[in-house]
Chain A
Amino acid sequence: MEKILITLNINDKPCEVMVYPNDTLLEVLRDELDLTGSKESCGEGVCGSCTVHMDNKPVRSCLTLAMEATGTKIKTVEGLASGDDLSDLQQSFIDHGAVQCGFCTPGMLMSADALLKDNPRPDEKTIRKALAGNICRCTGYAKIIEAVAHTDNPQDQCPDCKTGSKTKE
């Protein structure tokens, strides 16, 4: 099998990279492009740690071939912040204590970010459903769900919305 040159659009930048036809997008992101924010936890599409956006939709990069990603817009966790400015969702994760070991966090953020783009103020049930494909072993999900729910909808009674640097309304 020979490597082929492809161009991927990752975090709004064109990236030329040599890939084998059977390389997964996750392998290319991590091994070729040094974007190690996307994690491999199960390698079989169950845990969601490798979630990235392909044309604004969350996909599992461990089950996506790199070649399938040509001609699409890929966004990884590294593309959520603008430089040093975190997105509201990232800040909300920090403020609400939604990060423990942090291994599932990138995938969790990408699933949640896709949800919020469609529905900025989802109810709890919608959030639980949207995150059902992302396994977290540390948090019990409660603080993650709260972080997502309060990103665009801070609550006065939430002690952790007040500590945020970007409290809205």
Chain B
Amino acid sequence: MSDYTIVGKRMPRVDSRAKVMGKALFTADLKLPGMLVGKIKRSPYAHARILNIDTSKAEALPGVKSVVTGKDTKGVKWGVFAYTRDQQFIQIEKVRYIGDEVAGVAAIDEETALKALDLIDVEYEELPPVFDPMEAMTSQTELIHEDFANNINVHVNIDTGNVDENFEKAQYIREDTFVAPEESYFQAEPYAIVARFDHEDCLEIWCPNGGPHMKSKPLSNAFKIPLHKVKVRKIAIGGAFGGRSEICPVDYICSLLAKKTKKPVKIQFTREENTIATRQGHAMLTTHKTGVDKDGRVLARETTCYMDGGAYSSTGPIATSVPFLSMEQAYRMGSVRYNGYRIYTNKPIRGMIRTHGRGFACGLDTQLDMIADHLGIDPVEIRLRNSRQPGEYTSTKSYVDSCAMDETIHKAVEKSGFKKKWGKLPPFHGIGIGTNSVQTGFPMGIRGGSQSFIKFNEDGEATVMSGVVDNGQGNDNMLVQIAAEELGLLPEDIHLVSADTETTSSDPGSYSQVSTFVGGHAVKIAAQNCRAKLFEVASKILKVSPDKLAAENRLIFVKDDPEKSIPIKKVVRISLLNFNSVNAEGGYWPRVDMKREWVKNPYGQMCEAFSFGTTIVEVKVDPDTGQVEVLEATAAQDVGYAINPLVLEGQFEGALTMGGQGGMLTEYHEWKDGRCLNPTMLDYKLPLACDMPPKINNIIVESVDPKGPYGAKEAGMSIAMSAAQGYSAAVSNAIGVYMDSFPLTPDKILAAIKEKKAQEN
């Protein structure tokens, strides 16, 4: 569909050679001279007042170099928004969950650091904890945060008007409630950080992150040092999935220990700490009330969702909105009212996650299937009657430009044989469909845009600088592909300097699915600007106007007469001899509505593009054990344009595994009195190679977004979301019961089968 030479091709990733050789360095692999080991003292109580902390014994232990507590933090609080700054980096007055940070230690080795933790005496006065969000709203006991009445942290209200009137007009109305507990990221790499203050008193840190510039600003605020003195360095990152976007207390504590000891300090989380003390997905209870006309078109919907936010705000306002936004993008609605409540409880902190709102989305799709069932139409038809179309506005007034939602449905239906199988499969054998849409970006104010610099070296190779971070999804390769394409070089000629706050400009990070759309776009523009400079010089040598030139395979040539060419290296050298610069910059800022705000004004252009995904899943359920065997999964996504189909397929397969196979069949946390009972890989059931369906069909749909670079937009996440929905629909179809409690574990499946049998008898 294009005549690009490097973009759009299946290109093995530039970072994979170092990774297969074991040479890629992750944070825990770093060793700096004189480096100390840091550890964190955590609260054993879910809710308690700190009466006193005595660190004298710990400080006296030989080998201990520093002990820090809340007294050392100057009371700085963290929150993504000014109105959600509710988390001190080290707690000083009270603790709000089992695992809350109360002190940090730096010592010569791990053993000494662990001994020192035991020697810190913390005197607590226990307070009544609350773990259930519904109970937390009516609880008469001490509020978790005194400024937040009824423990309600965030309330998002969206109302398009006419909801009640439209319910009056509806032919059929259903109201159903769906629940899902918390899930976790389980990134392969447990969180780790190395921090040091260098010879110029600059703070230098290495850690997994969803955006280096999102780490540097809060650290500069916390230490009250200029932004240029915080240098977040690039390091290989072992996955993020939405969980490593914000700053964590450990970032501050490790930096503080480095400052106090004047030595590099490394803190490596245990697997349990990675689960408990970073972020988790929200538990949710969602009620959807939907009214449709006689053809199944949604006239009115009212959704109320209660989210268990845990102890602090984190990305609260965003997290309370995104499950709703994904569904309002995917489906047209005549009118809608949404009330999302994020509630504080004495549990670990919840943030953004790749499948954000599985209970919410699966509930909405399950209800759609129930409505279709009632009206006698099939699940595909009801989706097509309500699916988002290009050129429309969402309920919250975002214009949807490119949209191939219907094409993803049609192609997935055809590939999976849905129409032939629906209603004709033997007992306990089912097929289901899920559809979803994800934002390509959030309004992020001054950090919404990305800027890139490119410099040509005299050997004709180029260095590309970009703030984009690679969490493992392949962003580095994406930037290299784009730069090579535009500069007319080969990928191996591009040296990438990225994700380093000292050398790169502000960038939104990867956490709002925006790396390609914004960061990749900035590199594309910078490369085009750089190429234009070379063409200026080359045009004089080749004696044609610059617009007649093209660049490919290290050559600049005349488009109509490719024999007439000159090596790029030569053009660079001639430019330099003739006092011409061969560097360039470029930036991209998505035109979003800057007045849109998550709580105060949730209307206006959200982002410039949306992805659309459909997943169809076929399963067999064992009625004796409740075990689900997935026979085949088909994932189709409108990604705008596939910059690298090889990488993209990997995103589809990974998303399907996390959202569907894990997210809908096995993954959830269990609790006792605020303590997570399954924080480790032994107890939390992640999908294994032997669990996966024998066949995953990937279908890449390209709507070529007019604003995205080459037409590209978000890729992968609407598969994670729609896979959760597809899995749940397939299991419901197999057992003939619409499930309302996710994930669909064998115990729930067996109970549903049993109940159905009892009703039939």
* A binding-site residues for B, Cβ under 8 Å: 30, 34-44, 46-47, 49, 76-78, 80-81, 86, 90, 93-97, 99-106, 109, 124, 127-129, 131-145, 159-160, 163
Contact with A along B16-57 (1 / 0, CB 8 A): 111111111110110100000000000000000000000000
Kindly state the separation between the CA atoms of A144 and B473 in the bound complex, as whole angstroms: 15
Kindly state the separation between the CA atoms of A125 and B24 in the bound complex, as whole angstroms: 30
Is the CB–CB distance between B22 and A34 below 8 Å?
no
B692 is an interface residue with CB less than 8 A from chain A: yes
Instruction: Kindly list chain A residues whose C-beta atoms are within 8 Å of the C-beta of B190.
Output: 40-41
B650 is an interface residue with CB less than 8 A from chain A: yes
A96-B646, A99-B20 are known; give 11 further A-B pairs, CB within 8 A. Answer: A36-B26, A39-B188, A41-B188, A100-B473, A102-B18, A103-B188, A105-B20, A137-B187, A137-B188, A140-B650, A140-B661
Is the CB–CB distance between B696 and A142 below 8 Å?
yes
The smallest beta-carbon distance between A38 and chain B, in angstroms, is 7
Q: Which of B186, B472, B649, B654 contacts A102 (CB 8 A)?
A: B472
Is the CB–CB distance between B681 and A41 below 8 Å?
yes
The smallest beta-carbon distance between B546 and chain A, in angstroms, is 34
Is the CB–CB distance between A136 and B188 below 8 Å?
yes
Is the CB–CB distance between B690 and A128 below 8 Å?
yes
The smallest beta-carbon distance between A124 and chain B, in angstroms, is 7
Is the CB–CB distance between A100 and B472 below 8 Å?
yes
Give B240's nearest chain A residue, CB to CB. Answer: A101
Q: Which of B236, B271, B650 contacts A41 (CB 8 A)?
A: B271
- 13 interchain pairs (CB within 8 A)? A35-B22, A36-B22, A37-B21, A47-B188, A94-B17, A97-B646, A101-B239, A102-B20, A102-B472, A103-B187, A135-B688, A139-B653, A140-B661
The smallest beta-carbon distance between B275 and chain A, in angstroms, is 11
B474 is an interface residue with CB less than 8 A from chain A: yes
Is the CB–CB distance between B31 and A42 below 8 Å?
no
Kindly state the separation between the CA atoms of A53 and B187 in the bound complex, as whole angstroms: 25
Is the CB–CB distance between B16 and A143 below 8 Å?
no
B238 is an interface residue with CB less than 8 A from chain A: yes
Is the CB–CB distance between A93 and B188 below 8 Å?
no
Q: Which of B650, B655, B694 contacts A97 (CB 8 A)?
A: B650
Instruction: Kindly list chain B residues whose C-beta atoms are within 8 Å of the C-beta of A144.
Output: 689
Task: Knowing A86-B20, A135-B681 are in contact, say whether A160-B10 is a contact too (CB < 8 A).
Answer: yes
Kindly state the separation between the CA atoms of A94 and B608 in the bound complex, as whole angstroms: 33
Instruction: Kindly list chain A residues whose C-beta atoms are within 8 Å of the C-beta of B271.
Output: 41-44
Q: Which of A135, A142, A160 contacts B653 (CB 8 A)?
A: A142
Is the CB–CB distance between B13 and A42 below 8 Å?
no
Instruction: Kindly list chain A residues whose C-beta atoms are within 8 Å of the C-beta of B689.
Output: 127-128, 131-132, 134, 136, 141, 144-145
B647 is an interface residue with CB less than 8 A from chain A: yes
Kindly state the separation between the CA atoms of A36 and B23 in the bound complex, as whole angstroms: 8
Instruction: Kindly list chain A residues whose C-beta atoms are within 8 Å of the C-beta of B16.
Output: 93-94, 99, 102
Contact with A along B631-672 (1 / 0, CB 8 A): 000000000000000110110011111100100000000000
Kindly state the separation between the CA atoms of A88 and B391 in the bound complex, as whole angstroms: 49
Is the CB–CB distance between A99 and B237 below 8 Å?
no
| Number of B interface residues in the complex (CB < 8 A) | 57
**In chain B between 220 and 263, which residues have their CB closer than 8 angstroms to a CB of chain A?**
236-239, 241
Kindly state the separation between the CA atoms of A40 and B649 in the bound complex, as whole angstroms: 27
Instruction: Kindly list chain A residues whose C-beta atoms are within 8 Å of the C-beta of B654.
Output: 100, 137-140
B458 is an interface residue with CB less than 8 A from chain A: no
Is the CB–CB distance between A140 and B690 below 8 Å?
no
Task: Knowing A39-B26, A44-B682, A135-B188 are in contact, say whether A102-B19 is a contact too (CB < 8 A).
Answer: yes
Kindly state the separation between the CA atoms of A115 and B650 in the bound complex, as whole angstroms: 23
Instruction: Kindly list chain A residues whose C-beta atoms are within 8 Å of the C-beta of B238.
Output: 39, 41, 101-103
Instruction: Kindly list chain A residues whose C-beta atoms are within 8 Å of the C-beta of B749.
Output: none
B72 is an interface residue with CB less than 8 A from chain A: no
Q: Which of A96, A102, A138 contacts B24 (CB 8 A)?
A: A102
Give B185's nearest chain A residue, CB to CB. Answer: A137
Is the CB–CB distance between A137 and B686 below 8 Å?
yes
Instruction: Kindly list chain A residues whose C-beta atoms are within 8 Å of the C-beta of B13.
Output: 94, 97, 99
Instruction: Kindly list chain B residues whose C-beta atoms are within 8 Å of the C-beta of A135.
Output: 186, 188, 681, 686, 688
Q: Which of A36, A95, A132, A139 contacts B25 (CB 8 A)?
A: A36
Instruction: Kindly list chain B residues whose C-beta atoms are within 8 Å of the C-beta of A78.
Output: 21-23
Give A111's nearest chain B residue, CB to CB. Answer: B689
B12 is an interface residue with CB less than 8 A from chain A: yes
Instruction: Kindly list chain A residues whose C-beta atoms are within 8 Å of the C-beta of B182.
Output: none
Give A105's nearest chain B residue, CB to CB. Answer: B19
Kindly state the separation between the CA atoms of A124 and B693 in the bound complex, as whole angstroms: 12
Task: Knowing A101-B471, A106-B22 are in contact, say whether A141-B680 is a contact too (CB < 8 A).
Answer: no
B189 is an interface residue with CB less than 8 A from chain A: yes
Instruction: Kindly list chain B residues whose C-beta atoms are within 8 Å of the C-beta of A160.
Output: 10, 12, 646
Instruction: Kindly list chain A residues whose C-beta atoms are within 8 Å of the C-beta of B646.
Output: 96-97, 160
Q: Which of B185, B473, B680 contacts A46 (CB 8 A)?
A: B680
Is the CB–CB distance between B21 and A140 below 8 Å?
no
Kindly state the separation between the CA atoms of A49 and B686 in the bound complex, as whole angstroms: 14
The smallest beta-carbon distance between B370 and chain A, in angstroms, is 30
Give B192's nearest chain A residue, CB to CB. Answer: A40
Kindly state the separation between the CA atoms of A88 and B236 in the bound complex, as whole angstroms: 24
Instruction: Kindly list chain A residues whose C-beta atoms are within 8 Å of the C-beta of B474.
Output: 100
